[in-house]
Structure 1
Amino acid sequence: MAPTSPPTFRRRRLGGALRRMREEHGLTQQEVADRIGYRIDRVSRIETGRTKVDVPALRAMLDVYGVDDLALRAAMEDMARNVSQRGWWHSYASFLHLAFQDFLGLESDASELCLWESLLVPGLLQTEEYTRGLLAAGVGVVHSSSERIDKLVSVRLERQQVLEKANPLQLCTVIGEAALRNPIGDTGVMRRQLEHILHVSRLENAHIQILPLDCGAHLGLDGTFALFEFPDGGRLASLESLVNSFYLEDDESVQAYSHAFQQIRESALGEEETRRRLVELGRDLQDCE
Structure 2
Amino acid sequence: MNRNELSPDASPRAAFGARLRSLRDAHSWTLDDLSARIEYSASHISGVENAKREPTIKFAERADRAFGLTGTRETLASDVFRIRGGSLLEGFSEYVTCEARAAEVRLFETGVIPGLLQTEEYANALAQSAVQRGIITPEQARERVAVVADRQNVLRRTPPPLVMAVLDESCVRRPIGTDAQWDAQLARLLEFAEQPGTVLQLAPFTMGVRRTFDLPLYVLTMPDRSIVAYAESATRGHLQRDGRVVAAILGTYYQLQAEALPQAASAATINALRKGTP
Report the TM-score, using the length of structure 2 for normalisation.
Answer: 0.68
Offset of 1:161 from its aligned partner? 1.1
Q: For residues 200 and 170 of structure 1, do their structure 2 counterparts lie closer, same or farther at Cα, with a shift above 3 Å needed?
A: same
Offset of 1:178 from its aligned partner? 1.1
What residue identity is the alignment partner of 2:231? L
The answer to whether the 8 Å contact 2:166/2:257 transfers is yes
Q: For residues 248 and 219 of structure 1, do their structure 2 counterparts lie closer, same or farther at Cα, with a shift above 3 Å needed?
A: farther
Counterpart selection for 2:205 from 213, 222, 238:
213
Q: For residues 108 and 281 of structure 1, do their structure 2 counterparts lie closer, same or farther at Cα, with a shift above 3 Å needed?
A: same
What residue identity is the alignment partner of 1:207? V
The answer to whether the 8 Å contact 1:117/1:174 transfers is yes
What residue identity is the alignment partner of 1:272? A
1:171 and 1:253 map into 2 onto residues whose CA distance is 21
Matched, 1:86 2:76: yes
- State the match for 2:46 in structure 1: none
2:255 and 2:134 map into 1 onto residues whose CA distance is 33
Matched, 1:282 2:271: no
Counterpart selection for 1:224 from 216, 231, 239:
216
Offset of 1:167 from its aligned partner? 1.8
2:236 and 2:134 map into 1 onto residues whose CA distance is 11
Offset of 1:135 from its aligned partner? 2.0
What residue identity is the alignment partner of 1:149? A
Q: For residues 240 and 142 of structure 1, do their structure 2 counterparts lie closer, same or farther at Cα, with a shift above 3 Å needed?
A: farther
- State the match for 2:34 in structure 1: none
- State the match for 2:122 in structure 1: 130
Offset of 1:131 from its aligned partner? 1.0
The answer to whether the 8 Å contact 2:212/2:252 transfers is yes
- Write the mapping of 1:263-278 to structure 2, written as runs, cut at 5 A: 263-278=255-270
- Tell me, what secondary structure is at the counterpart of 1:227? strand
- State the match for 2:165 in structure 1: 173
- Write the mapping of 1:20-99 to structure 2, written as runs, cut at 5 A: 82=70, 83=72, 84-87=74-77, 90-91=79-80, 93-96=82-85, 99=91
Q: Percent identity?
A: 24
- State the match for 1:151 in structure 2: 143
Q: For residues 135 and 220 of structure 1, do their structure 2 counterparts lie closer, same or farther at Cα, with a shift above 3 Å needed?
A: farther
* Cα deviation code 1:236-273 (max 9, x no counterpart): 11111233211222233212211211111111111122
What residue identity is the alignment partner of 1:124? L
2:164 and 2:134 map into 1 onto residues whose CA distance is 29
> What are structure 2's unaligned runs of at least 5 residues?
1-65
Offset of 1:119 from its aligned partner? 1.5
What residue identity is the alignment partner of 2:160? P
Offset of 1:133 from its aligned partner? 1.6
Matched, 1:101 2:93: yes
- State the match for 1:240 in structure 2: 232
Offset of 1:177 from its aligned partner? 1.1
1:233 and 1:102 map into 2 onto residues whose CA distance is 18
Report the TM-score, using the length of structure 1 for normalisation.
Answer: 0.65
- State the match for 1:249 in structure 2: 241
Offset of 1:214 from its aligned partner? 1.2
2:84 and 2:171 map into 1 onto residues whose CA distance is 27
Counterpart selection for 2:253 from 254, 261, 264:
261
What residue identity is the alignment partner of 1:191? D
Q: For residues 142 and 156 of structure 1, do their structure 2 counterparts lie closer, same or farther at Cα, with a shift above 3 Å needed?
A: farther
Offset of 1:93 from its aligned partner? 3.4
- Tell me, what secondary structure is at the counterpart of 2:167? strand
The count of residues paired between Structure 1 and Structure 2 equals 209
Offset of 1:140 from its aligned partner? 6.8
Say what the alpha-carbon RMSD is for the aligned residues: 2.6
The answer to whether the 8 Å contact 2:92/2:238 transfers is no
- Tell me, what secondary structure is at the counterpart of 2:186? helix
Q: Which is higher, the Rg of structure 1 or of structure 2?
A: 1
Matched, 1:199 2:187: no
* Cα deviation code 1:188-243 (max 9, x no counterpart): 22211100111111111221111112122125343221111111121111111233
* Cα deviation code 1:27-47 (max 9, x no counterpart): xxxxxxxxxxxxxxxxxxxxx
Q: For residues 94 and 185 of structure 1, do their structure 2 counterparts lie closer, same or farther at Cα, with a shift above 3 Å needed?
A: same
